[in-house]
Structure 1
């Protein structure tokens, strides 16, 4: 018993020593942080890292931050990188952190909010450059590094030009074996610090190879991986666990704990005719959490982790196994959707939305002008309601068309205001559609009762939606920039101004305002459509297919029932529903304009037929008079099924 306790104490001591937060001058795992005090010149990053174990220095001046040294086992990098490509500006001081993990030969630099990978992880070498100690102090300067820290321990609060750390070689295998033993014994709160690497010589007649163990994914390498021009070459498979470098920067995604790197010595392998296969074993993943096999693409920016689905196919084998089939070699893993998954076909959906919103905006303006010109000839209140709906839809279409541009403007609080206005425009449009539903019910079923005045409608349609928006804006941190991630490239999200649905409070506000009003509108609109159908189902005009279509189509535009497609977005028709919803709702303003144009044309035709039917040429009761009569009836019916002529003219 005493020996067992002693073993646990030794293990715990090793963990504390290995992963401690910088309690001494010497650190196995270096994390050096500070603030870069620079000038107003364009900023750059200078990297000069080579193999060896002399040490590493971090220096800074008014225009550049430099990382120089000989510290790695296999990584070499010489770059001068302008930082404006990452959105840095020279107006303010910049925080940074340099992190060195010798057991992975991994060097990372965090500048501001950007993580740069100076040396990607690799399997452990024979000797690791560890036990880093702080070198001599440097004199103070106007520009340089302020408040340098090792882990959380402050070194100097003054501004100095550089910090130097000297390294010593340590046996990597001993450290990895001790760390692996610690991990196996049950200290699962500790990250697995070492990679596991397997290699295989691919000689002539190579027929493929399978790599697997109890704690790693299963990898099958097909024969086509061997380069045809070489007699023999070497394929390497490296397994990583719990490495924070690979984590994605989106809350709605989570990367599996296993990451696999597959390489062929001195070769770049792409477009394989037979894919490599990797089977990941994991905990149970719910069915509503989608999985995607991804690979690390270094073509766009070798200093950043960009997970792409290109070149990989996902095969879900139950809830605990996922197979990835990929046609190239790099790092591989599986992304799991936690909340809102990536949007498929985001580019065509964005194009449809932009074109639809532009068309809807100009169409709504045309509708408003049309009703303003005809308002003097008619005092019916429905015109006022139609104008309110057109005005709110025009505002909504304009904001939605511009939100992508405004979200990328570097203006303080710009997206907060735009998001709040967009939310107000949407609530106002939905409210006016609800008013259309109520107005139709009133005119059809309350024929002999006076309806509310236009002032009441404007108060409800424009003032009432502002109440929740102002309340949420006063709470703060509800509106802002939202990123919509495309499934084709998760590293290049579409930015817009909206409610921050990743925040718990904002998500509740979204459901209690937008989704609640939308559910009420769609349900009441469907009920009203059914009541209208029930009222007129026995009429002769309903047998006219064209008339039935015009009636349902026109009322659906007014009642906003097309928004109900949002609640039907489920597989296997999710893509079809998404495109249909995007098209119908984006072009809603255009559809309303077409509806009112058709109604105006039908009204003129109906008046002409009535004049002919009542005139001397149509008074003989022949075919012409019957045709004119039914055409007039059909024309009014296409507008809305009326009980009396007063209500029919009110609904035009």
Structure 2
């Protein structure tokens, strides 16, 4: 009976039904494998907490690629690339993987760019760098034979959103198919154009376009133009000019290759505050490394308008210096902003080039005016603090407990304003190694000033509320230890950590191509963390306690007769605000409609802080002389001169 059914003709409807069943059966038996052009394989690596490593062994061809894992290593190997060939062992101790027993990862393969990437614990590692379009591409990867289950390996393996296996497997093998890259590129263009048309946007060329020229003895330079145009003007999005000096720098008769990448996704950094333009250009000379060209390469990028609050810089990524992580640097490139839609880059070496758009921090408005005000205020404050130090030293014969406090505050403010006055000059004239120590000194002076302001707050509280419990006579040494010694500890730790202090760029909104340089904390993640932990945390504590102390002092002495005089009230609140550091609270109000006014108030009040204290000192001294009729009765108490109270213990 079975043999008879085998030869019986079938109805068309039955044939269609069986065909559908066959297709469904095929999809189920292949484990929901992906047959897209590129590959995105993700999973969780279950490992031990010992020394871990990444083993990479990639070679040219199109057979298969395997992702394997055991208790101590994650391995990626196979024949899949067109240009790239890599064999390396990378230690993963710096990734912090030994703190847990599981680590999430994703593997990305882009055949058109011949690029292999690994994302491990949120860190992007480039195993094969983007390259120009080759002759053949390895694509349409499908899941190969199933590996047995193991205690260590890869769990929850997925291709895009499809789960291949929830079990712990030692390896996943993907088998590739070799196709012509031009055919694959045309298919990618059609698919991309369809997606862009449905989204209502212009299609971008997903394939890298490469041009080459043989530099002969009579080479006089050449221009390469991107085949992709910008907007309705049909202007090339990027143009490259190779100078005659490139032939002189090359050792032999070599080919210069220029590749235009329109898709910037493979070149994006992990940082959210920066963004690379769509256009990326790679310039190479066959089998040679070219650096320090006497005549720079000129690259013109034509792009969409960049907002004024976003700065831009020409950058390059040297894959020899950073073989794993994408790291765009400004070294060797000069930025010329021709217009808001045109940026020209002049670079003296060959590698990948693009324009880096800085989203944060925002450029500073009125930077020139603020710099002039701050410099003038710092200079006046230094002179004023020196005068106050001399006056307070002459009064040390009165042996008041408050004298070391006022003297320490004046000294720290003098050092802070002096370093801040010269920091811009030093950053432009000396080497960065000197700027590191100047930045550390400026940070120390700032923390020391905050410490002495905190001591002023505590001492004022003690005078007003603890009048029956006098402070020890030798407490001045303790004040000096707290005001001068304690701030040195975090600064010393940050110096030992390294890469915290150095040249800091302040971007002006009216001329973002010419930033103001100063010696301070850098803009990397480590320096920003140190800034928030040390400066912002201390400032929040200082300002909040200063405001509370200002309110308590006001409640305590508001009923006194001398407070009936308006100028006494004004000078008292004004002076105590400077002593207690409450003027630094303006730092937290720089937003919204106050963003233009607050920086000016902040610079005026804090840069002139030393001058304001000396001014208040002399004005109160004069008022007391007029009231008492005798200078001897009013000049003997620094406590009376620096505080708005004349109460005795």
**TM-score range for the pair, normalised by the shorter chain length:** 0.5 to 0.7
For residue 255 of structure 2, give the secondary structure of its aligned residue in structure 1. strand
Look up the match of 1:85: 94
8 Å CA contact retained: 1:311, 1:328 = yes
Corresponding position: 1:33 with 2:42 = yes
For residue 148 of structure 1, give the secondary structure of its aligned residue in structure 2. strand
Look up the match of 2:52: 43
Q: In structure 1, how many angstroms separate the alpha carbons of the residues matched to 2:261 and 2:225?
A: 13
Q: Shift of residue 43 of structure 1? A: 0.6
Look up the match of 1:430: 543
Q: In structure 1, how many angstroms separate the alpha carbons of the residues matched to 2:348 and 2:270?
A: 26
Look up the match of 2:445: 356
- Evaluate the alpha carbon distance shift between residue 557 and residue 364 of structure 1 in structure 2; reply closer, same or farther with a 3 A threshold: closer
Alignment of 1:553-564 (within 5 A): 556-558=578-580, 560-561=582-583
Look up the match of 2:12: none
8 Å CA contact retained: 2:563, 2:569 = no
Q: Shift of residue 419 of structure 1? A: 6.9
Corresponding position: 1:253 with 2:274 = yes
8 Å CA contact retained: 1:393, 1:429 = no
* Aligned counterpart in structure 2 of residue 204 of structure 1, from 217, 227, 231: 217
Q: Shift of residue 88 of structure 1? A: 2.2
Any stretches of 5+ residues in structure 1 without a counterpart?
1-21, 381-386, 409-414, 452-527, 537-550, 615-628
Q: Shift of residue 218 of structure 1? A: 1.2
Q: In structure 2, how many angstroms separate the alpha carbons of the residues matched to 1:310 and 1:582?
A: 36
Look up the match of 2:345: 324
Q: Deviations over 1:26-60 (max 9, x none)?
A: 33212122221112321101111011112111111
Q: In structure 1, how many angstroms separate the alpha carbons of the residues matched to 2:94 and 2:246?
A: 36
Q: In structure 1, how many angstroms separate the alpha carbons of the residues matched to 2:44 and 2:570?
A: 74
For residue 51 of structure 2, give the secondary structure of its aligned residue in structure 1. coil
Look up the match of 2:646: 649
Q: In structure 2, how many angstroms separate the alpha carbons of the residues matched to 1:266 and 1:247?
A: 26
8 Å CA contact retained: 1:34, 1:95 = yes
Corresponding position: 1:149 with 2:149 = no
* Aligned counterpart in structure 2 of residue 219 of structure 1, from 232, 240, 262: 240
Q: In structure 2, how many angstroms separate the alpha carbons of the residues matched to 1:316 and 1:349?
A: 32
Look up the match of 2:180: 171
- Evaluate the alpha carbon distance shift between residue 164 and residue 393 of structure 1 in structure 2; reply closer, same or farther with a 3 A threshold: same
Q: In structure 1, how many angstroms separate the alpha carbons of the residues matched to 2:98 and 2:270?
A: 22
Look up the match of 2:355: 334
Q: Shift of residue 73 of structure 1? A: 0.6
Q: In structure 2, how many angstroms separate the alpha carbons of the residues matched to 1:376 and 1:114?
A: 55
8 Å CA contact retained: 1:47, 1:80 = yes
How many aligned residue pairs are there?
492
Q: In structure 2, how many angstroms separate the alpha carbons of the residues matched to 1:420 and 1:78?
A: 41
Look up the match of 1:523: none
Corresponding position: 1:280 with 2:289 = no
* Aligned counterpart in structure 2 of residue 114 of structure 1, from 119, 123, 126: 123
Q: Deviations over 1:202-254 (max 9, x none)?
A: 11132221111453311111222224463421111111123322112222222
Q: In structure 1, how many angstroms separate the alpha carbons of the residues matched to 2:66 and 2:466?
A: 82
Q: Shift of residue 360 of structure 1? A: 3.3
Q: In structure 2, how many angstroms separate the alpha carbons of the residues matched to 1:444 and 1:369?
A: 17
Q: In structure 1, how many angstroms separate the alpha carbons of the residues matched to 2:605 and 2:266?
A: 40
Alignment of 1:117-516 (within 5 A): 117-180=126-189, 183=192, 187=197, 188=201, 192-213=205-226, 214-215=228-229, 216-228=237-249, 230-341=251-362, 351-360=440-449, 363=452, 425-434=538-547, 448=561
Q: Shift of residue 128 of structure 1? A: 0.6
8 Å CA contact retained: 1:562, 1:581 = no
Q: In structure 2, how many angstroms separate the alpha carbons of the residues matched to 1:394 and 1:650?
A: 30
Q: In structure 1, how many angstroms separate the alpha carbons of the residues matched to 2:221 and 2:127?
A: 33
Q: In structure 1, how many angstroms separate the alpha carbons of the residues matched to 2:451 and 2:540?
A: 20
8 Å CA contact retained: 1:99, 1:109 = yes
In terms of mean alpha carbon deviation, does 91-100 or 420-429 score higher? 420-429
- Evaluate the alpha carbon distance shift between residue 330 and residue 136 of structure 1 in structure 2; reply closer, same or farther with a 3 A threshold: same
8 Å CA contact retained: 1:47, 1:77 = yes
Any stretches of 5+ residues in structure 2 without a counterpart?
1-30, 230-236, 365-423, 428-434, 470-475, 499-527
- Evaluate the alpha carbon distance shift between residue 391 and residue 447 of structure 1 in structure 2; reply closer, same or farther with a 3 A threshold: farther
Q: Shift of residue 348 of structure 1? A: 6.6
Q: In structure 2, how many angstroms separate the alpha carbons of the residues matched to 1:327 and 1:97?
A: 36
For residue 210 of structure 1, give the secondary structure of its aligned residue in structure 2. strand
Q: In structure 2, how many angstroms separate the alpha carbons of the residues matched to 1:66 and 1:582?
A: 60
Q: Shift of residue 91 of structure 1? A: 2.8
Q: In structure 2, how many angstroms separate the alpha carbons of the residues matched to 1:97 and 1:296?
A: 23
Q: Shift of residue 297 of structure 1? A: 3.5
- Evaluate the alpha carbon distance shift between residue 62 and residue 90 of structure 1 in structure 2; reply closer, same or farther with a 3 A threshold: farther
For residue 112 of structure 2, give the secondary structure of its aligned residue in structure 1. coil
Q: In structure 2, how many angstroms separate the alpha carbons of the residues matched to 1:120 and 1:399?
A: 43
- Evaluate the alpha carbon distance shift between residue 562 and residue 142 of structure 1 in structure 2; reply closer, same or farther with a 3 A threshold: closer
Look up the match of 1:504: none
Corresponding position: 1:61 with 2:58 = no
Q: Shift of residue 82 of structure 1? A: 0.8
In terms of mean alpha carbon deviation, does 118-127 or 237-246 score higher? 237-246
For residue 313 of structure 1, give the secondary structure of its aligned residue in structure 2. strand
8 Å CA contact retained: 1:606, 1:631 = no
Q: Deviations over 1:401-425 (max 9, x none)?
A: 69969999xxxxxx99x97998675
For residue 89 of structure 1, give the secondary structure of its aligned residue in structure 2. helix
Q: Shift of residue 427 of structure 1? A: 3.8
- Evaluate the alpha carbon distance shift between residue 351 and residue 30 of structure 1 in structure 2; reply closer, same or farther with a 3 A threshold: same
- Evaluate the alpha carbon distance shift between residue 273 and residue 261 of structure 1 in structure 2; reply closer, same or farther with a 3 A threshold: same
- Evaluate the alpha carbon distance shift between residue 105 and residue 267 of structure 1 in structure 2; reply closer, same or farther with a 3 A threshold: same
- Evaluate the alpha carbon distance shift between residue 440 and residue 290 of structure 1 in structure 2; reply closer, same or farther with a 3 A threshold: farther
8 Å CA contact retained: 1:365, 1:394 = no
Q: In structure 1, how many angstroms separate the alpha carbons of the residues matched to 2:207 and 2:648?
A: 74
Q: In structure 2, how many angstroms separate the alpha carbons of the residues matched to 1:334 and 1:325?
A: 12
For residue 308 of structure 1, give the secondary structure of its aligned residue in structure 2. coil
Task: Tell me the TM-score normalized by structure 1.
Answer: 0.61
- Evaluate the alpha carbon distance shift between residue 422 and residue 355 of structure 1 in structure 2; reply closer, same or farther with a 3 A threshold: closer
